[in-house]
Structure 1
Amino acid sequence: MAGDQPIFTVLSDVELKGEGHPEGTGAARTAASDNESGIFSGECELCEEHQAELDWFCASEQKLICSHCAIVGPCRGHAVTPLSTRVSTVRVCEVCVSFGTGDELRGRAREQVLAQVSAAREALEEEEQRLLEEVQREEERVEQCLLTQRAHWKQALANLSQTRSRLVHTLTHTPDSQLAVREAEGVGEPCDTEQLNLNPTCSDSRLLRGLWATAVLLGQNGETSYFKFDERTVGPLLTLSQDLFTLTFTNKKSRQPCAYDPARFDSWPNALGSQALSSGTHCWVVDVGQSAAFKVGVCYASLERKGSGNGARLGYNSQSWVLSNYDGDYSFCHAEKKVPLQVVKKPQKIGVLLDWPSQTLLFYEPDSNAILYSITQTFTAPLLPACAVTDQSITIVHK
């Protein structure tokens, strides 16, 4: 057919040489431009057999056919394509030929992507270097500040140590009368105050007692006496850990019946230490944690153990001395009398110091050695560590 050859030339050139065959691109472009106008203008020939427009292409026969040939004619069952679709393919191929082959396009795109990645990498490296330099400058500044602070506190600690040594020397080598009474020109006669007793005997000076207590605690060097709870004394609503250091409050439902023992408290949730104290200086620490209700102190071994009266209640008789906390209300309790205590920060631990030679009992905060309360008392019998708890747990700790 006279009109077939130009179309065949275009299709074969584009399909077989359009990509990967650059030698055919010029011919393909020329053939496509020469024949597209004829195809779309309706000037193509009619099918000789059916007298219908040749608007289909048979890939099997490699020729133009009409729709009747494709459906009921000799090309039925062959691979046929509408001519409009085929021409679109030709145009796409022309675009590809105009802008380069697929390999060329991929190469250009790859070069653009690599260029962008390279630029991004360089920017990130520059930013990283800037941040590293900034961090290094900050580290040097902080290090210098720390060195300055360290030198300052080292000097301050040395000054405090010298002051402490002088105070201890003064307290241990100066008579009480010289410590308490001094002449003051233009000030008037010295008088007693609530903070400092200026009597020549100095038997009840809070200031001197606090200085003495601080010196004793520092002299202990963090050493504590080794105590455990006596499991025979543990009262109801309490459980004792296997190591005998921790008391835990339990409710009535989980309470386990206790065997009778004359040493056991049968009503109050008390427990006593296993070692009696009647000489020397002893201190121990009780970790009260988050407990909101506890008592820590000492008592005579003769303290009552049975009944719910005050005779067996710590702090409510003449045989026990305890620091008590109930829901943030701290107080010193003895013989049914309470002395309210001003506690600025809730202590996590309570320290107890008993100095038998001076008959002094002192309660303190171990982390800061702050004195919470102290008392001088004539003890007539050996003392036992005593505790009570009605909220969570308390534990005797040892360094």
Structure 2
Amino acid sequence: MTEGFTAVDLTCSTPPKTASNGRGMDFEQPIFSVLTGGLRAQQAGGTTAVTVGTTSDTESGIFSAESELCVEHDSELDWFCGTDQKPVCSECASSGACRGHAVTPLATRVTAVRNQLVDVCEKMQLQAKRIESFIEQTLSTKEQKLQSAASRAREQVLAQISAVREALEEEEQRLLEEVQREEERVEQCLLTQRAHWNHALTSLTQTRSHLVHTLTHTPDAQLATSLQEIAERVEKAEGVGEPRDTEQLSLNSACSDSKLLRGLWATALLLGPKAYRSPHLKFDERTVSPLLSLSEDFCTLTFLHKKSRQPLPYDPARFDCWPNALGSMSLSSGTHTWVVDVGQSGAFKVGVCYASLERKGSGNEARLGHNGQSWVLSHYDGDYSYCHAGKKVPLQVVKRPQKIGLLLDWPSQTLLFYEPDSNAVLYSVTQQFNAPLLLACAVTDDSITILHGAGREEMSNVR
């Protein structure tokens, strides 16, 4: 070695690994980082790493790709400067531009690069084999499993749809037959009533005609002695009675009631492709009782204890005695649903009412569920019930729901209460609503929150 400079080994810190010598390789290391990252890591220990590439003569002014001699010293380029990443001659290394730099014999450098390239090529070959194996084995197996899984899924769908279709067809047949029987029963009642009252009308008409004739054509002396006959005819006429409409003359709506059909119908509305998700429904702050507080987003009602209550300005729309509040949207068409989070509240009511519901006083006229203008699901002291017009229907709830859902289908005049997590129907009622409906809620323990509301058709503000 030429005096005045020190040779430094630029080979990788890890000896090259080849398949021919039987040593393993680090297959987790990225392929193209081997040349750059592996050698560069040695700089901290006094050895300079290199990258594959060629420094052009325009960058260095010393090395020319067309010559293996140093342009400055006309000497062989038999050393490699790790600092400048270029081949140099011994003169450059000892006393020239690369003096004091980390250098190594060019042959050593080339050997290290070749060994690295061998490793890279071997890793590429092994990676190619892994890819081929993945394509031929894994993907092929996955494709077969996919076909089997898809086939099973199709069979399951068809089987479930077939079961639902079969049940619906049987239920359809049963309900149509029930409606037909009820229709025939009412028709028979109507025929019977028609025949009875036609006969009564004829008898009454004849009796009246006879009495009118007696009144107008009978001599006074004879009329005075006809009281017994007249009394008998009057008694007969009075026996006809007054006609009255009865429930027997109307179709019983229960003939078309079906838990199966109602459940499937509700599920289709709640989970079908046109489920409702528009969060528009909120509480109208004008209606909120002074016993409650309303959150800033107008969605949460909280029961206030006596010390927390503050007087509110008079408003004809505000409930003054009962802890009630109404929704801000009136519902008079389409299909709508909303969910109220009742949390751990031990006393609440959730339902609908007419806008004409009384707001003042402590009477039943303003008490939800105790008048003919409100329909609510009530929870108090662990018991659940449906309340309307002062009548309660106890509900069997297997698990205490954290949320109560309401579904109002205006075309069918159906109000349905359900449990959103399972979509289980808690209670449903079909009634002829004769005015727009508002969400109606009450709470006397903790708080309740409207989570969302929606509708397929217009929901207009009642204010």
Task: Specify whether residues 313 and 152 from structure 1 end up closer, same or farther in structure 2 by C-alpha distance, changes over 3 A only.
Answer: farther
Structure 1 runs not aligned, ≥5 long: 1-149, 183-198
The structure whose Rg is larger is: 1
Contact 2:269 2:275 in 1 (8 A): no
SS in 2 for 1:244: coil
Q: How does 1:192-231 map to 2 (within 5 A)?
A: 202-219=255-272, 220-221=274-275, 223=277, 226-231=280-285
Task: Specify whether residues 167 and 287 from structure 1 end up closer, same or farther in structure 2 by C-alpha distance, changes over 3 A only.
Answer: farther
Q: How does 1:11-90 map to 2 (within 5 A)?
A: none
Q: How does 1:305-324 map to 2 (within 5 A)?
A: 305-324=359-378
- TM-score, normalised to structure 2, is 0.46
SS in 2 for 1:340: strand
Matched, 1:162 2:161: yes
Aligned residue for 1:131? none
Cα drift, residue 382 of structure 1: 0.4
Contact 2:369 2:387 in 1 (8 A): yes
Cα drift, residue 166 of structure 1: 3.1
Q: How does 1:85-104 map to 2 (within 5 A)?
A: none
2:446 to 389, 392, 395: 392
Mapped to 2, the partners of 1:153 and 1:224 lie a distance apart of 36
Mapped to 1, the partners of 2:167 and 2:329 lie a distance apart of 31
Mapped to 2, the partners of 1:289 and 1:328 lie a distance apart of 13
Cα drift, residue 207 of structure 1: 3.6
Contact 1:317 1:335 in 2 (8 A): yes
Q: What amino acid is aligned across from residue 418 of structure 2 in structure 1?
A: Y
Aligned residue for 2:210? none
2:427 to 373, 382, 389: 373
Task: Specify whether residues 179 and 272 from structure 1 end up closer, same or farther in structure 2 by C-alpha distance, changes over 3 A only.
Answer: same
Task: Specify whether residues 152 and 226 from structure 1 end up closer, same or farther in structure 2 by C-alpha distance, changes over 3 A only.
Answer: farther
Cα drift, residue 211 of structure 1: 2.9
> Quick one: percent identity of the two aligned structures?
69
Cα drift, residue 169 of structure 1: 7.8
Contact 2:350 2:442 in 1 (8 A): yes
Contact 2:179 2:256 in 1 (8 A): no
SS in 2 for 1:166: helix
SS in 2 for 1:345: coil
Matched, 1:278 2:278: no
Cα drift, residue 334 of structure 1: 0.2
Contact 2:342 2:448 in 1 (8 A): yes
Contact 1:318 1:334 in 2 (8 A): yes
Q: What amino acid is aligned across from residue 344 of structure 1 in structure 2?
A: V
Q: What amino acid is aligned across from residue 262 of structure 2 in structure 1?
A: R
Cα drift, residue 256 of structure 1: 1.2
Aligned residue for 1:257? 311
Structure 2 runs not aligned, ≥5 long: 1-148, 182-251, 454-463
Aligned residue for 1:300? 354
SS in 2 for 1:282: strand
Contact 1:240 1:246 in 2 (8 A): yes
Q: How does 1:182-193 map to 2 (within 5 A)?
A: none
Mapped to 1, the partners of 2:300 and 2:441 lie a distance apart of 11
Aligned residue for 2:392? 338
Q: What amino acid is aligned across from residue 177 of structure 1 in structure 2?
A: L
Mapped to 2, the partners of 1:397 and 1:174 lie a distance apart of 39
Contact 2:178 2:256 in 1 (8 A): no
Matched, 1:240 2:294: yes
Instruction: Please report the RMSD computed on the Cα atoms of aligned residues, expressed in angstroms.
Output: 3.4
Deviations 1:265-319 (A, max 9, x none): 0000000000000000000000000100000000000000000000000000000
Task: Specify whether residues 174 and 247 from structure 1 end up closer, same or farther in structure 2 by C-alpha distance, changes over 3 A only.
Answer: same
1:328 to 382, 399, 402: 382
Q: How does 1:348-363 map to 2 (within 5 A)?
A: 348-363=402-417
Contact 1:181 1:200 in 2 (8 A): no
Task: Specify whether residues 349 and 167 from structure 1 end up closer, same or farther in structure 2 by C-alpha distance, changes over 3 A only.
Answer: farther
